[in-house]
Amino acid sequence: MNLGSALGNMMAQATNTASWWKPMQASSHAAAVDTLFNFIMYLCFFFFVLIVGAMVYFIVKYRRKGNGPERTSPIKGNHTLEIVWSVIPGILLVLIFAWGFKDWLAIAVVPANAMEVRVTGQKWNWTFTYPKEGIVSSNLVVPAGQTVKLVMTSTDVLHSFYIPDFRIKRDVIPGKYTVLWFKPEEEATHQIYCTEYCGTEHSNMLSKVKVTSSAAYEAWIANGGEEPGGAGVPLAEKGKKLWEQRGCVACHSIDGSKKVGPSWKGAFGTARQFADGSSIPAADENYLRESILVPNAKVVAGYPGVMPSYQGQLNDKQIEAIIEFMKTLK
């Protein structure tokens, strides 16, 4: 594809910042994707002007002049013209296919030296698990220049993982794994979206990918990821961080307002009425722990039983921190 690449390079914007119509190019895929995109777009501009221009020209040239009846010209056909307008677009289509296939292969085949991170989509947050380090994080942290392979799955419905700055996007499907890879070029923070409508809080299913220096990455790993604080940080404060970072915030307010789930304000120590007619006089640690791990065991009356289980996503320490945080919300 030397001709294609040369054409594309001519038209590509070799910038590393966002333009008014495209996000910044921040991965090794970005330039190639944009080059082909630009090629197809300018090709469309060219034919748009050519075709609409010819149309306008013919409209003016062959418009009805005077009042009398006029015969249209008796054209039977023109083989040369028909071959030209079939063969040229044919060549262009094959060129675009071959070029796109080549770029697609580069994105589809994961390099062998990639570092692996597991991605779990869940209504309505992303969780990133670093299998070797045993770290679970709500943001994706990777060192610049490192090839990263994402092995993705969903615990509930179909989501779609999308990092516009990296030009990568793929469906995240319950019951199977899908794979993406990227190589971030520079230290920066980029937005991650869910780009498949997956329910009420779909638009809040956001995370960040933080591309750091290798030293900062090592320090982050040594700290146990974004596990908030360490010694000296009150449990309740860790709980608040977890509420923000693990997606609780999508469904549970802390100011008493009603969202998908009950507010956490006054959640501890107060009575509960359940959908099945049963009740408890005061929510305690055991009830709250059960509600995090087995959400459908006791569903509060007036709310849909849609909360996913956090079994395996939050450890005991984290559940304690969350309960301590709830206790502060009087």
What does the binding site for ligand CUA look like in residue numbers (CB under 6 A)?
121, 124, 159, 194, 196-198, 202, 205
Smallest gap from residue 27 Cβ to ligand CUA (A):
22
Nearer to ligand CUA, 144 or 206 (CB): 206
Nearer to ligand CUA, 205 or 288 (CB): 205
Pairing verdict, β 178-182 and 188-194: unpaired
Quote the CA–CA distance of 65 and 242 in Å, as a whole number.
77
Smallest gap from residue 195 Cβ to ligand CUA (A):
7
Q: How many CB atoms lie within 10 A of CB 211?
A: 27
Nearer to ligand CUA, 159 or 240 (CB): 159
163 phi and psi, to 5 degrees? -120, 95
Residues 6+ apart with CB under 8 A from 143: 211, 212, 213, 214, 216, 217
42 phi and psi, to 5 degrees? -65, -35
Smallest gap from residue 90 Cβ to ligand CUA (A):
39
223 phi and psi, to 5 degrees? -80, 0
Nearer to ligand CUA, 100 or 199 (CB): 199
Identify the CA nearest to 142 among candidates 153, 152, 154, 128. 128
Smallest gap from residue 253 Cβ to ligand CUA (A):
20
Smallest gap from residue 161 Cβ to ligand CUA (A):
9
| Tokens standing for residue 95 | 């060129």
Nearer to ligand CUA, 121 or 143 (CB): 121
Q: How far is CA 284 from CA 119, 259, 261, in A?
A: 32, 22, 18
Nearer to ligand CUA, 220 or 310 (CB): 310
Smallest gap from residue 314 Cβ to ligand CUA (A):
19
Task: Assign residue 126 a region (left: φ > 0; alpha: ψ between -120 and 50; beta: otherwise).
Answer: beta
Nearer to ligand CUA, 8 or 261 (CB): 261
Contact yes or no for 289/317 (Cβ under 8 A):
no
Quote the CA–CA distance of 204 and 263 in Å, as a whole number.
17
Smallest gap from residue 62 Cβ to ligand CUA (A):
53
